[in-house]
Each structure stands twice: as structure tokens, then as C-alpha cells.
Structure 1
């Protein structure tokens, strides 16, 4: 392993994030430590604190990468036609990422800041982007809805889609019988969006 003076600070930060990602994907969201991360890089744990404020900061940077990957998929899905088709495509991309990178996806939602520290704006912007893309489609689907109503709709959809995906990746859907998560997502979107449209026409 090359020593620290052979890498820039940004290179070392990227290496640390990659090392954490590898640990999370291999060991799960609760089985990593600063010592393990530093060990994968060939450095002492103290080195990481020259790169990140603390472990929370490192985790946030990894989670930001996962959110960037999710947002890229959601942005691509935005070109799939009418709002119903687009929102279904977004939901399927959400499921696909959860399947392909389950532990990284779970870490985004399981991580809690120590001592209830605030989440930095650069991270909040990434989560906001996901909801804004959904709200854009809802504006076209339910023109009569105001901004607050669209925000509630978007978060209701996310909570429902996330729940189906979480049950799927944790192998808990089998208790309800042999139903594919894709079919559940399709049913959810069909019924919820149709209901929203009817309410908007009143």
C-alpha cells in the first residue's frame, strides 16, 4: 500500500470512502469501525481524522455517493413519457438500486448522526433533489394540487415505495405470499395516482 505522502488529500478521502463502501457491502451496515477502515488503507485510525471531521462525516460522504447514484437513475427515468410512466420508472429504479447495492442503500436510511448533530446542507440537497423530481411529475399529474399537497403526495409515495423495497431486500415479503415487488409497486402507483387525480378533479 502506498504511503500517505504519495496521495493528495482528495485521493485519500476517495480511498477512505471506497474502503468503507467495501466494508459495508461485505460486512453490513453495523459491522465496521474507524480501525477497520484505516487498516484497509494501511494507515493508523488517526489519519482518518485528518480527512474527515469524524466517522459520521465519512459515512455521510459515502451515503452522498449512494444518493448521487440514485438521483442519476431517477433523472434518467424522467424521460419515460407521461407522469404515471415516469413515476413507475422511478420506483423501479429505486427497487433496482436497493437490490444491487442493498447494504449501501440501507446505510443511507439507517445512519443516525451522533448527539443529534445537524445534517449538512450539501447532504440535504441530495435528498431534496429526489423529492423535487417526484413533485415535478405530480405537478403535471394533479395540476390543481398546491405545492404543500404535492410535497405530501411525494413523501407518501416515497414512504410506500421504500417500505415495499425494504421488505423485499430483507426477505420479508414471503410472509404475504408469492407476489413480486414490481407488481406491488405497479399496483401502488396505479391506485394512489389515480386517487390523487380524482381528488384533483373535484
Structure 2
């Protein structure tokens, strides 16, 4: 590893974020600490506090990277059809929950310490996902107003998230060992059919 003074602030930030991702993938979020991140990259915890406000900030920065990768994969669909794009988005979401469970859970289950507010910049990152869902749902039923689209996108994605969570925790056996992707297909088929006809 390079000497400490050979890393710029941006490089140190990138090293720390990658260390967070690696540590969480290896040991889970509950065992993460600034000290462990610092040890992983060969710095002191005090040095990291010059780059990140606290552990929450470090986690949110790492989550922002995960969200960016997730969103990029979700919108990378070859079909121009909104319904097929939504199907692809949901399948990618569930696949990430199953294949990269610790990182996926860190995004959606991290709780801010001391009930601190989630910063606005991070709220915008999470809102971007819903915005992509809203755009496609609007194409399926343009007569619906903004409030209806807003509600429907969150209702649909809340259901997708529930399936993803069960899949991530390997709890689908309680539903009769049903395939997660089959559940997603069923959910979207019935919900979107109803949405388009309403």
C-alpha cells in the first residue's frame, strides 16, 4: 500500500468506501466500525474523521456507491417497453438482494445513530430509484395524475422489496419454497394489468 501522504483526500475516501464494502460483505454491518475500516486501509481512525463526519457518513457514502451500481443495472434493459423494463428492474433488485445480501441490507436497513436525520444528498439518491419506477408506470397509464403515480410506484416497489427481503433472508420456504423471480413475475403481471386498466 502507498504511504499515507501519497493518498489524496479523494483517494483516501475511495479506499475507505471500498473497505466498508469489503468488511460488510465479509462480516456484516453489525461488526463494522471506523477503527476496523482504518485498520483495513492502514490509517488511523482519527485520520478518517478528517474525511468522514462519523460512521453514519462513511456508511452512507458506501451505500451511495451501491445504489448507483444497483440503479445502473436496473435501467440497463434492452427493451423499449415500460412493462418489460419494470420487470427487469424488479428482477435485478431481487437478484442483488440474493447475490450481494450484506451490501443490499446495508443500503436498506442501516439506521442512523442517535435518530439523526438522513442527509438530503442521500435522500436524493434513494429517490432516484423511485423516479425511474414512476417514469415507467406513467407510460403504462398516462391518464393517472402525479400523486397517483407516486403512490403506485411506492406500493409496487414496497411489494418488490418485501419479496427481495424474504429472498435475502432465505425465508421463502415459509411460503412453500416459491421461486423469488416467479413471485416477482406474478406480482408485476397482476399489479401492472390492474394499473393499466384503472
Q: What's the TM-score, normalizing by structure 1? A: 0.94
TM-fit CA distance, 1:114: 1.9
Match of 2:11? 11
Match of 2:175? 176
Whole-Å separation in 2 of the counterparts to 1:57 and 1:174: 36
Structure 1 residue 140 and structure 2 residue 148: aligned?
A: no
TM-fit CA distance, 1:144: 1.5
SS in 2 for 1:43: coil
Contact 1:80 1:89 in 2 (8 A): no
TM-fit CA distance, 1:121: 2.5
Count of equivalent residues: 198
Unmatched segments (≥5 aa) in structure 2: none
Match of 2:111? 112
Match of 1:72? 72
Residue deviations 1:112-159, cap 9 Å, x none? 112332222321221111111111111111111110100111001111
Whole-Å separation in 1 of the counterparts to 2:68 and 2:125: 7
Unmatched segments (≥5 aa) in structure 1: none
Whole-Å separation in 1 of the counterparts to 2:168 and 2:115: 28
Contact 1:91 1:161 in 2 (8 A): yes
Contact 1:91 1:185 in 2 (8 A): yes
Matches for 1:77-92 after TM superposition, within 5 Å = 77=77, 79-92=78-91
Match of 2:38? 38
Whole-Å separation in 2 of the counterparts to 1:135 and 1:176: 29
Q: What's the TM-score, normalizing by structure 2? A: 0.95
Residue deviations 1:38-91, cap 9 Å, x none? 1111222111101101111100000000000011012213x4232211110110
Match of 1:51? 51
Contact 2:163 2:183 in 1 (8 A): yes
